[in-house]
Structure 1
Amino acid sequence: MSTSSTTTTAASPFVLLPSSHARYNERFPAAADLEQALRQKIRGEVRFDDTSRALYATDASNYRHIPIGLVLPLDEADVIATVEICRHFKAPLLSRGGGTSLSGQGCNFAVILDFSKYMNKMGPVDPVTRTVHVQPGIVLDRVREAAEKFALTYAPDPATHSRCTIGGMIGNNSCGIHALMGGKTVDNIHSLDILLYDGTRMTVGPTTEAELTAHIAAGGRIGQIYAELKRLRDTYSALVREKFPNIPRRVSGFNLDELLPENHFNVARALVGSEGTCAVILGATLNLVQSPQFRTLVGVGFEDVFIAADHVPLVLTHKPIGLEGMDRLLLDALRRKQKALADLPLLPEGRGFLLVEFGGATQAEADERAATLALSLQTITPTRIYTKPEAARVWAIRESGLGATAFIPGIPTGWEGWEDAAVDPTQLGSYLRSIVALMQEYGYHSPMYGHFGQGCVHMRISFDLETEKGILDFREFMDRAADIALAHGGSLSGEHGDGQARGALLPKMFGPELMDAFRAFKRLWDPANRLNPNKMIDGHEIHEDLRLGADYNPWQPKTHFAFAEDNGSFPAATLRCVGVGACRKADAGTMCPSFMATGEELHSTRGRAHLLWELMQGEVLPKQWKNEQVRESLDLCLSCKACKSECPVSVDMATYKAEFLAHHYEGAHRPLSHYAFGRIDLWAHIASFAPRLVNAINNAPGIRGLIKSLLHIHPNRTFPRFAKPFTSEPRPAQPTGNADVFLWADTFNNYFHPSTMRAAYQVLTGAGFRISLPQHHLCCGRPLYDFGLLNNAREYLLKVLTALAPQLDAGTPIVVLEPSCASVFRDELTNLLPNDPRAAKLRSQTFLLSEFLVRYAPDYEPPQISEKIVVHGHCHHKATMTMADELKLLRATGAEVKLLDSGCCGMAGPFGFEKDKFDLSQKLGERVLLPAVRANTEAIIVSDGFSCCEQITQNTTSRPKHLAEVLAQPSQQ
């Protein structure tokens, strides 16, 4: 959103800009005809619906522009056709990478080309020339993985390396941690295949004088381009040498310095960092560099971040391949968000830190370089040399920076804007002191972290972007901060580009003559100004088109959940998403399983959060809670809760989904499956009186098919078999005098897998505890959340709290075997009943079996096991608790234990049973879990989650075991 008036204040020379709300609901006049023309020619996907437009309305910046439409090209032919059709309709175009741009260059009122779904291929790595050709949509980590097979790498590696695309990196001139080793993106481009808005295709790269002369002599559009580039070089070369700061991280402006003779008139590199304003990239040939196969990381602690910055020049004399810095505020942010708590103690003592990485041809060489640095600093400050596993954990702290500092409970939100300036490393300490003094003037605060070795420091400053005064202060601060950076010989941008965040400041840095040169460079490539218009050059103002703004007034609906950390506001909860796109990774972790399966922004945590935020604005997406397109986007959310822990700002899509569905179906008919799956505890309780009969009925050929048809269950799924519940079994008398523990009889283990309950009972009594069980049927209501049956869920929880009153009053530990049920008591319980003191008690008294044994039975010794153990962690276990205690117990058996990085199993309660989700469920299971189970037929497969076990047993011959069953078996040696 933008601001809403044109008033000024005495404190600021800037004005609030007129609101741009009116154009948000306007469409490109010929949008319908443009869409139809595209659909006739494009073999990929064309999307002009409101949902897609809302989905791509913002990137990771402060800005918001509703696009005209979206094209996902299948190949180059699609791109060429899209440009041709847009040219016919005079429609602007924006090439978008991973959507993680922080300066606003990734959103515009344009037709957006998203290459990430289809144009993400790469050719073979050539280890001789050290090059590889790629399409623009390929993710950086895929390139690095291929290059590492030859001990090569692509040097620039921003923190978003698991999801940023090469096309986006070229657009922004990205850098990252190891740019110290191999330079920025501009330094690692061999050539570019480009398409201009007028249809001209070119392959550009370094150009000899003879080649330049030949191009000009050939005439035509290409000849004109080279002639004008030569004129720009000859006219402005002296000024470029004078005005372009000679620092490692000058990213601002167009790269006219690459046209200088000493830089081989490299047209490809001149286009790097042009943010899609000059050409559409069809492909790129990248230069690869030697990748040190042996690396050692050193942590160095200082009294504060300024002193850490002062020591950067000294550390650089030791020739590290990476040199990062961060301050205590980043660590404080992680502590407040309960993230990386086990990793933070790895850092040496201090309030400012440098992370220094060395590479070598051997581990001994890398270690020696690290030891030399540590020795040189031993009389100055504490250091720590890390093992390889420790180094990975420490790097994760640094890479969490942007997300970890963007949203911190209890602290004003940090925003981008002045998050990217760079100076010469020798000036870094002075620059940081000056910027912090300026922030203090305005009452701002921000953690600091980034690429200290190249003088580039990132910040998330607590700008007020919701009031007139706050916005004018923000604009004034930006102007004064620019003066400070330039006074230190710096660049306005050191990595993220100019876009809209810093475009208006470029005249300060380069002066009027070079700005004329920049405009001429832009007009040369894009005379019609149709490629990402109003970015960088002659762009919109820094405080225009804000996502928030002085007129930000979202719908504030009444909600079932408290959203306490978001001040009770659902819009504030959805605003947590700052667009860093960690949910778009596809190689590790759990978040976001549906995106891993489909590759669709619509099915990412970020995409869903953006849609829900847009829904609260009521400008693009209609019908509020009744919006069917938003429901469809949430339909493939598996409610795995991984985003709650893996998302750096803890977006909790499972909760948002439950809240949305609760309102979506208010006063409306629900599918029968909601009641069948959501109230499974009721049906299981009824079936428990005659489980064999119910199983026989369920599996009778005619009845089985009818039930599956009525409930939309896939034909390949089999019904879990009911069993006689454990709570109805006779149990031996227990000795008195032992400590009490309450064993929760969850629906899944009690009515389907009573052997697990039996095993847990044996383990707990064997460990010396006296066990009590529920006296009547109780259920936490876990399946109810999948369907937004929140009124029922509240009733279930109140019933549980009443039944457990004696245990809660006595402080009795409550052991829960099913991780998803434990997560209800750890998470949803206090969110639904925030003011009930009993809820807080139950939350604090709930333990998984592993947690309980480690905490309350420190002398417990598990049986000795000789078999290999392969562990699949339940999503809720990893998201709301930790696997550490479970792994500790399993390793104490003496067995070889492997924890799979298998993400979500794909079953996710009722999700995997549904007919229209079966294929996606199977795809997720086959990603890691099921192949790993089949490859370990002799191993013990440990999986505590009922759904996970169902996915395994319905797709393999293995019978997984719960931790309780493993601990209850006799020792094998």
Structure 2
Amino acid sequence: MLETRTRTSLLGELAAAGVPVDASPRRRAEYSYDASNYRVEPVAVAFPRTVEDVVAAVGACRASGTPVIARGGGTSMAGNAVGPGLVLDFSRHMHRVLAIDEEAGTVDVEPGVILAVLSREVERATGGRRTFAPDPSSKNRATVGGAIANDACGNHSVRYGRTSDHVAEIDLVTSDGARVTATETGLRATDPADSFSAGRAQALTRSLEQLAQENLGSFRLELGRIPRQVSGYHLENLLPEKKFNIARAVVGSEGTWAVVVGARMKLVPKPAAALLVCLGYEDVVDAARDIPAILEFSPAAVEGTDEAIVATMRHRRGPDSVLGLPEGHAWLFVDLDGDDPGSVRALADRLLARLAENGRLVQGRAAADPAERASLWRVREDGAGLSSRLASGGESWPGWEDSAVAPERLADYLADLRGLLAEHGLTGVMYGHFGAGCMHIRITYDLRSEEGREVFRKFTRRAAELVVRHGGSLSGEHGDGRARSELLPLMYSPAVMAAFAEARRLWDPSGILNPGSMTDPDPMDAHLALAGVPEREWRTSFDLHPASSASHGTDPWVHAVQGCIGVGRCRADSGGVMCPSYRATRDEKDSTRGRARVLQDMVRGARTVEEGWKSEEVREVLDLCLACKACSTDCPAGVDMATYKSEFFDHYYSGRIRPLSHFSLGWLPRWLKLTGRLSALVNAVLATPLGKVAAAAGGLTTKRALPRFAGAGEWRREVAEAGVLTAGGADGADSVVLFVDTFTRGFRPEVAGAAARVLAGAGQPVECSADACCGLTWISTGQLGTAKRLLSKAAEALDDGTDRPIVVVEPSCAAALRKDLPELVHTEQAKRVAARVRSFAAHVADRVSTGWEPSPGKPVPEQAVLQTHCHEYSVFGAAAQRTALKAAGVRNIVDAEGCCGVAGNFGFEAQHYEVSMQVAENALAPALRGAEGDVAVLTDGFSCARQVDQLDSSRPGLHLAQILDPGTARLSQPPTTQIAMSQRPLGQVTTPQ
């Protein structure tokens, strides 16, 4: 860390130059990590907006001797994007696609543009004729600058190669302030009128030419031998036969030569037709033995994964999360493409026939269905996170996750590697780019103990020796970084290592660019994030114990918050729901990863976050967490930030004055008992200017209309008007319990009646209860003592000695009873009740699967905008409502995939209103604006309904029960099912009259 005086001078110079910079303890905690095993605290983080900002930042660092670490999406698994100096985050502002030239086949970009965004923009601009090829699994959050830094490849590298195969020119800023452009034939000043840069380009060109001439033999013999030889510098591109391609030589230099500030990248034609063929094998070695045969069919991709990742996907996201997988214990995903679907299908048939002859294939099938294809690719793309916290309870880490060999040697290498793992008592979770010979293997190291770290060091060195014996590379995609740079002398001769060091010196004579990796590296076991965490007992209300002993005795709270390994899926701009606040602000602090990293520094007792449960940095980073729970499902590592926020707030506000909204909204069920008795008066007052005064006094926004409060008995009348008997109960093993929650009773009593009618029509006897509260509002505001008392009472009231489903109208309440109840109330009774809880949509979908047809004869809208409540999505799955709507005859369903922005109390709080509306712009607001004609807006969640009303009051949000409600057309017929309303424990079932 810099001396205080030098650090102050640096920050002052950056501020004077207008470079956005943040040196706060919280910000430094967020950027102390990437997706690797390492933690290195930076001096500060800068967010350049222009190239001039970069030049100024590099100049200030050169003057003070401060290291410079260029960073894109922060998804590096080798520690390439952390360092002890000034971090330059290019993803925040310098993320534009500047120009697309279809005729030339190039695209001009800034370094912070996300790879998936780049591909999407290119395809849109060219009518789908062209695309950008490199597609690593992190493509929806990794940047072009990062891909250039480590020569990223991706799933389709069998066809398209590495990033270095797709670079035309790279604009750079050197550590001495020159602005130069690396091209396919040399180096020039970016601005010809810039005499200093022109002179620097000429001198550097001469030096690099001399370096190549002095090392012709070693470069030709040792570099560029296999498709995925990414380790070290790519100096073979300086050879005469490579035409002195400096652009390609720069790729893979991991930010140690110069800072990338722009690039012209090459485009490729997009295939007209493609088909995914999924192949099942007994194990990964058998799968690897078939690679040479598969490559004969010219596939675009050959990816693989093992059964541990598939099992974890199904465990975390449900059995339907993986569709179309053939039998086996390891799988290859082979992407075939061509000019038309017929020829591609014929090619797939020939491939399957050939592999059947080989005798190793267990089962193979073509996944023609787009949903199956997307499901299978997601298994592979989420491999890094899924393998970190497995369904078995184990955990694994990177470190030797990126080795590569020639594809024809992959099977032998994997067989030897499995033996080496067994010798060290380790297990490797295997996935990766089988067709390119590149394996991503996450290994069950114990990086928390000195003994485990010694095993890590010994195994990694032995593994490096093994891959070199097989003619391979330490890295096939992720780069060397802090993880493997120390081992480069095992792979390269002293002459080549000396050339690497000289090349780096030529580019960066001041030695400030990304120190600690490539040449003169830090030891591979230095700066490990899991090392040095002090032993301490953190008392929690939530049961956070892991499913197995994989935590090696670590405190449950520490183990939980260390679940984030930095893969950064929470920073994606599409797909899933996580993370709504990041999608609104694009600030790392508002991502699930950013929050987790600050929590990890909290348990370390790091100087960035020193106050433990009372840490202001943690409170600040959790402030915009909507507690949507989406990360518990969408995060491949299963990080549950809603739970962590609730737990932290419970401790943080102990003995402190809470925000007013924690009383006005956190205690809402208590207030509803009062407003239910005085609903007419309360509603009248709220309709006057006094309503805004009352809202402001409660810490609520005055920009959002408050809902109408229902009378205490309205929900009972609604159920009674459903045309069923209200005296007596429903008994029998095939009956269901309809739980009318606090929100439904207090704000949407009409939904209770609709739900009663739908369930009655489903052919199961129904019993109705409202004799409990799930404690949701106390959970979301971190008032866990009250929440536990209410949940205990709920478990007691709902535990009737049967296995009958408990169908909950409000999805957030259903989620609280299903997930939070057993985690806060540690009894067998709580577990029994939680296992019975279903959301209304999930229960309807289950009945549809048995052949029941909802709402027969009832007119339904032609189309619907589907806003799935986040808690429904995360706890019960995203498919239930769509299944029910389709069964009812709704033909056109538009998914407003993402959080609505209200998320319980969040969107009603004054300080969060603006962000809540920004979140709505992610998906819901555009979906409503695009809806035309007879459209129903499905909002099972009360908070979602309030947001829809705020956005478009002409289209009120409807609960699924209201859309499926048979209504008065059914009431003329004698009821076939009785619904009994009770305010008693459900075990006391009365006999129908």
1:674-722 deviation line (CA, Å, top 9, x unaligned): 1110111111121111211111112221x22321221232222111101
* Correspondence 1:610 to 2:600: no
Equivalent position SS for 1:247? coil
TM-score (norm 1): 0.93
Residues 376 and 971 (structure 1 numbering): CA distance in 2 closer, same or farther, change over 3 Å?
farther
Q: TM-score, normalised by structure 2?
A: 0.92
| SS of match in other structure, 2:599 | helix
1:342–1:210 Cα change, 3 Å = closer
Q: What letter is aligned with 1:258?
A: N
Structure 1 segment 494-573 matched on structure 2, within 5 A: 494-549=476-531, 551-565=532-546, 569-573=556-560
Deviations 1:853-878 (A, max 9, x none): 44468353212435223211110011
Contact 1:410–1:565 (Cα < 8 Å) also in 2: no
The answer to whether the 8 Å contact 2:664/2:699 transfers is no
Distance across 2 between alignment mates of 1:210 and 1:500: 31
Q: Are residues 1:915 and 2:910 paired?
A: yes
1:416 aligns with one of 385, 394, 398: 398
Which of residues 411, 429, 432 is equivalent to 1:447? Answer: 429
Change (3 A) 1:339 1:709: closer
Distance 2:392 2:217 in 1: 52
Picking from 25, 32, 39, the partner of 1:57 is 32
Corresponding position of 2:812: 820
**Which amino acid counterpart does residue 949 of structure 2 have in structure 1?**
T
How far has the Cα of 1:206 moved from its partner? Answer: 1.7
**Alpha carbons of structure 1 residues 414 and 918: separation in structure 2 relative to 1, 3 Å:** same
Of 923, 926, 948 in structure 2, the residue corresponding to residue 928 of structure 1 is 923
The answer to whether the aligner puts 1:34 opposite 2:10 as a matched pair is yes
Q: Secondary structure at the match of 1:763?
A: helix
1:378 alignment partner, SS class: helix
Matched-pair contact (CA < 8 Å) for 2:867–2:897: yes
Greater alpha carbon shift after TM alignment, 76-85 vs 448-457: 76-85
1:530-679 equivalences under 5 Å are 530-549=512-531, 551-565=532-546, 569-620=556-607, 621-679=609-667
2:92 to 94, 105, 117: 117
Q: Could you say if the C-alpha distance between residues 945 and 216 of structure 1 is closer, same or farther in structure 2, counting changes exceeding 3 Å?
A: closer
Offset, 1:218? 11
Partner of 1:681: 669
Q: Does 1:170 align with 2:151?
A: no
Q: Is the counterpart of residue 148 in structure 1 residue 123 in structure 2?
A: yes
What residue in structure 2 maps to residue 904 of structure 1? 899
Question: 1:248 matched to which residue of 2?
Answer: 227
1:697 lines up with 2:694 in the alignment: no
Deviates more, 1:224-233 or 1:618-627: 618-627
Offset at residue 410 of structure 1 (A): 4.7
Task: Indicate which of 801, 806, 825 corresponds to 2:795.
Answer: 801
2:990 alignment partner in structure 1: none
Q: Identify if the C-alpha distance between structure 1 residues 365 and 802 changes in structure 2 by more than 3 Å, giving closer, same or farther.
A: same
SS in 2 for 1:164: coil
- The within-5 A match list for 1:926-965 is 926-937=921-932, 938-956=934-952, 957-965=954-962
User: 1:8 matched to which residue of 2?
Assistant: none
**Would you say 1:844 and 2:835 are equivalent positions?**
yes
How do 1:751-830 and structure 2 match up within 5 A?
A: 751-774=746-769, 776=771, 778-805=772-799, 807=800, 809-830=801-822
How far apart, in 2, do the equivalents of 1:768 and 1:558 lie?
47
Deviates more, 1:202-211 or 1:564-573: 202-211
Task: Name the amino acid aligned to 1:934.
Answer: R
TM-fit CA distance, 1:971 = 10
2:53 is paired with a residue of what secondary structure? helix
Deviation by residue 1:374-415 (Cα, 9 ceiling, x = unmatched): 222233322101113311111111112111111125544211
SS of 1:370 mapped into structure 2: helix
Structure 2 letter corresponding to 1:929: L
Q: CA RMSD, aligned part only?
A: 2.3
Q: Distance in 1 between matches of 2:390 and 2:157?
A: 29
Query: How far apart are 1:251 and its partner, in Å?
Result: 0.3
Q: Any unmatched runs of 5+ in structure 2? A: 971-993
Q: Secondary structure at the match of 1:194?
A: strand
CA distance in 2, matches of 1:50, 1:552: 18
Give the structure 1 partner of residue 878 of structure 2: 883
Q: Aligned match of 2:964 in 926, 944, 967?
A: 967
Alpha carbons 1:866, 1:972 under 8 Å: kept: no
Match of 1:401 in 2: 383
Decide whether the 8 Å contact of 1:555 with 1:618 is kept in 2.
no
Counterpart Cα distance in 2 of 1:819 and 1:209: 60
State the distance in 1 between where 2:414 and 2:823 align. 41
**Which one of 58, 61, 64 corresponds to residue 86 of structure 1?**
61
Alignment of 1:197-236 (within 5 A): 197-207=175-185, 220-236=199-215
1:158 equivalenced with 2:136 (yes/no)? yes
Separation of aligned partners in 1, 2:198 and 2:853: 83
User: What does the per-residue CA deviation read over 1:189-219, in whole Å, with 9 as the maximum and x for residues that have no partner?
Assistant: 10011001111110111227999xx999998
Distance 2:618 2:122 in 1: 40
Structure 2: distance between partners of 1:461 and 1:802: 44
CA distance in 1, matches of 2:31, 2:146: 15
Residue 522 to residue 972, structure 1, CA distance change in 2 (3 Å): farther
Residues 1:397 and 1:80: Cα distance change in structure 2 (over 3 Å): same
Question: In structure 1, what residue type is equivalent to 2:533?
Answer: Y
Using the TM superposition, name which of 140-149 and 492-501 deviates more.
Answer: 140-149
Does the 8 A contact of 2:699 with 2:909 survive in 1?
yes
| 1:103 equivalent in alignment to 2:78 | yes
Residue pair 2:302, 2:433 contacting (<8 A) in 1 also: yes
Instruction: State the 1:773 CA deviation.
Output: 3.1
CA displacement, residues 227-257 of structure 1 (integer Å, 9 cap, x when unaligned): 1101111011211111125111000001101
2: distance between equivalents of 1:693 and 1:126? 66
2:287 counterpart SS class = helix
Q: Conserved in 1, the CA contact under 8 Å of 2:758 and 2:966?
A: no
Aligned residue type for 1:247: I
Summarize deviations over 1:328-380 as a string: whole Å, max 9, x none.
Answer: 23323334x43362244522222222211111122223222222212222333
Mind listing any 5+ residue stretches in structure 1 that lack a counterpart? 1-22
1:266-322, CA deviations, whole angstroms, 9 ceiling, x for partnerless residues?
Answer: 111111111111101110000111111311011112222111101101110100011
Q: Distance in 1 between matches of 2:403 and 2:197?
A: 42
1:433-469, CA deviations, whole angstroms, 9 ceiling, x for partnerless residues? 0111000000100111110111001111111212222
Partner in structure 2 of residue 484 of structure 1: 466
Q: How many residues align?
A: 940
* Distance in 2 (alpha carbons) for counterparts of 1:324 and 1:642: 28
- Rate the CA distance shift 1:670–1:206 in 2: closer, same or farther, 3 A: same
Q: Summarize the Cα distance change of 1:903–1:751 in structure 2 as closer, same or farther, 3 Å threshold.
A: same
Task: Please state if 1:238 is matched with 2:223.
Answer: no
AA of the residue aligned to 1:717? R
**C-alpha deviations, 1:75-109, integer Å up to 9, x for none?**
11111111111112121100011111011111110
Check 1:775–1:268 CA distance in 2 against 1; reply closer, same or farther (3 A cut).
Answer: closer
Deviation per residue, 1:610-646 (Å, 9 max, x gap): 1001011112212111111211111100000000000
Deviation at 1:901, TM superposition (A): 4.0
Contact preservation (8 Å) 1:554, 1:617: no
Matched letter for residue 821 of structure 1: C
> Residue in 2 aligned with 1:385?
366
Q: Supply the AA of the counterpart residue of 2:658.
A: R
Q: 1:134 matched to which residue of 2?
A: 109
Give the 3 Å change call, closer, same or farther, for CA 63–294 of structure 1 in structure 2.
Answer: same
Residue pair 2:72, 2:145 contacting (<8 A) in 1 also:
yes
* Partner Cα distance (1:471, 1:592) in 2: 33
Alpha-carbon shift at residue 180 of structure 1 (Å): 1.4
